[in-house]
Amino acid sequence: MTDSWATFGADLHIEPHAGGLRDGLMEALRDAVRTGRLAPGSRLPSSRALAADLGIARNTVADAYAELVAEGWLTARQGSGTRVARRAEPRGGTPVARRTLPARRLPTYSLMPGQPDLASFPRAAWLRASRRALTDAPDGAFGYGDPRGRTELRTVVAEYVGRARGVYADPERVVICSGFIHGLRLVGEVLARREVREVAVDSYGLDFHRTALARAGLRTPCVPVDRLGTVVGALADRPEAGAVLMTPAHQFPTGVPLHPDRRVAVVDWARATGGLIVEDDYDGEFRYDRQPVGSLQGLDPDRVVHIGTVSKSLAPGLRLGWMVAPAGMVAELADAKGFSDWTTSSLDQLTLAEFIASGAYDRHVRAMRLRYRRRRDQLVAALAERAPGIRISGIAAGLHAVLELPEGTERSVISAAAFQGLALEGLSYFRHPDAARERDALVISYGSPSDSAWKGTLDALCRVLP
């Protein structure tokens, strides 16, 4: 036999029933469809491939296929092959194809925070960078490489964050990661190995950040947030806290920058206690009505881990980020990544390195800054005209705003929005379980709706505001 089974198409993993090869094969195929193992639309192997796999004559398989087509179990079209008929729904038992979630009404519009305008991803520029990166990639780029990440990317990241974010960054201090959560998990693992018990977090923040730290065995007590940002003086009440997680440039979700006096105070706390500051710089590139707020890391590079990503500036699906760590922590972070957890494609790293080095990243950020500012201004104008009683805050930077609501109305507004087909998130969703409820508000993203949906989204929002 000149053909190997390894050259054939999809495996079917089927055994003909007793009672003759042709009839047994037909019954086995019917059973696979009935139980849902072969879902409607599934493509079957060619008669030649299945015959070779089963060790039977090709004509036997072809005859079985033809009969099942005639019965309506299968369909056969030129160029499309033989497939399970769409109407051949499974019957009986609890087949896989029938295990579907209950139907839910999907929102027509969404102002949920968390992602940028995905439609504006610079596909053409990214493709050009990818082609150049692939053409110029050394042979070593296709191996396992350095767990800290490609040196090309670490070098351009160090230059970029130093120039754009005021970070003290040497390529030897940079560790590439797959987004913020990946970086936070690695930091949490290192802290746990250092026998740190607690990482303080803001009273308003993201629950999955707390979860990532908790999975490393760390407790996450909260410290208050007010109009000046994190109340860093409250860290004195947490003597077991060996680190604090902060968003100092633009506190998420309240949107306030950390006051200069508190920036100095938290660095003083870290120096005095030997603590570590984990700085989440999630949208530091986007500011509108103020001078850029530099990184906290620049005040003391040996006491701060600066974590940045392209999740807001480009797209979260790229899964690319970086940590700029104290020199004494880099080896521990690389070790925490381990041989089985490098996670970020070398070619994607080289593409981002080329994208930044060519100036395409700066051009994209500038274009998106203008785009998001226009969106923000349109939101402010619409609220001033149609909901003048609603105060808006946190809009000097970033991709989201906080809309203050009358006391006791947050839940009802979100319910009314859902009835209108608009997905919203309330400020209470981001409150730490141990924090007191302080106010009713909405946290809305003005960056993520598409251009075609933006007007309808604004209309729906204004209709449900009190």
Written as one string, the DSSP assignment of 211-245 is HHHHTTT-B--EE-EETTEE-GGGGGG-TTEEEEE
CA 195 to each of CA 187, 188, 268: distance values in angstroms, whole numbers, following the listed order: 13, 11, 22
Tens digit of each residue's pLDDT (9 = 90 or more) over 223-247: 999 999 999 999 999 999 999 999 9
pLDDT for position 377? 96
pLDDT for position 22? 85
Task: Assign 110 to helix, strand or coil.
Answer: strand
Q: What's the CATH code of the domain at 376? A: 3.90.1150.10
pLDDT for position 237? 94
Give a yes or no: residue 276 inside a domain.
yes
Q: Which two tokens stand for residue 162?
A: 């130093």
pLDDT for position 266? 98
Same domain, 59 and 132: no
Q: What's the CATH code of the domain at 204? A: 3.40.640.10
Q: Total domain count for the chain?
A: 3
Task: Assign 434 to helix, strand or coil.
Answer: coil
Tens digit of each residue's pLDDT (9 = 90 or more) over 276-329: 999 999 988 898 876 778 899 999 999 999 999 999 999 999 999 999 999 999
Same domain, 26 and 90: yes
Same domain, 136 and 152: yes
Same domain, 304 and 165: yes
Give a yes or no: residue 64 inside a domain.
yes
pLDDT for position 145? 83
Give a yes or no: residue 104 inside a domain.
no
138: nearest Cα among 357, 344, 342, 347: 347
Q: Exposure pattern of 23-32 as b/e (b: 16+ CB <10 Å)?
A: ebbbbbbbeb
pLDDT for position 341? 59
Q: Which two tokens stand for residue 365?
A: 């950020």
Low-confidence ranges of the chain (pLDDT < 50): 1-9, 88-104
Inter-residue contact 293 to 248 (CB < 8 Å): yes
What is the C-alpha to C-alpha distance for residues 272 and 301, in angstroms, rounded to an integer? 15
Same domain, 50 and 142: no
Is the sign of the CA dihedral 340, 342, 346, 348 positive or negative? positive
Give a yes or no: residue 103 inside a domain.
no
Same domain, 113 and 124: no
Domain endpoint, select from 359, 376, 408:
359
Q: How many residues does the chain have?
A: 466
Inter-residue contact 248 to 261 (CB < 8 Å): no
What is the C-alpha to C-alpha distance for residues 315 and 94, in angstroms, rounded to an integer? 39
Query: Which residue segment(s) compose the domain that 71 sits in?
Result: 5-98
Same domain, 439 and 326: no
Same domain, 424 and 352: no
pLDDT for position 19? 63
Question: For the whole model, what pTM was predicted?
Answer: 0.80
CB atoms within 10 A of CB 261: 10
Q: Given phi > 0 = left and psi -120 to 50 = alpha, else beta, which region is 101?
A: beta
The label of the residue with tokens 């087909």 reads 421
Helices and strands (DSSP H and E) totals, the chain = 13, 16
Give a yes or no: residue 460 inside a domain.
yes
pLDDT for position 101? 41
Same domain, 207 and 238: yes
Give a yes or no: residue 293 inside a domain.
yes
CB atoms within 10 A of CB 335: 14
Could you tell me where the beta strands, DSSP code E, fall in 255-341? 276-280, 304-309, 321-324
What is the end-to-end Cα distance of the chain in Å, rounded? Answer: 77
pLDDT for position 10? 52
Same domain, 36 and 88: yes
Same domain, 345 and 373: no
What is the C-alpha to C-alpha distance for residues 363 and 434, in angstroms, rounded to an integer? 43
Same domain, 275 and 142: yes
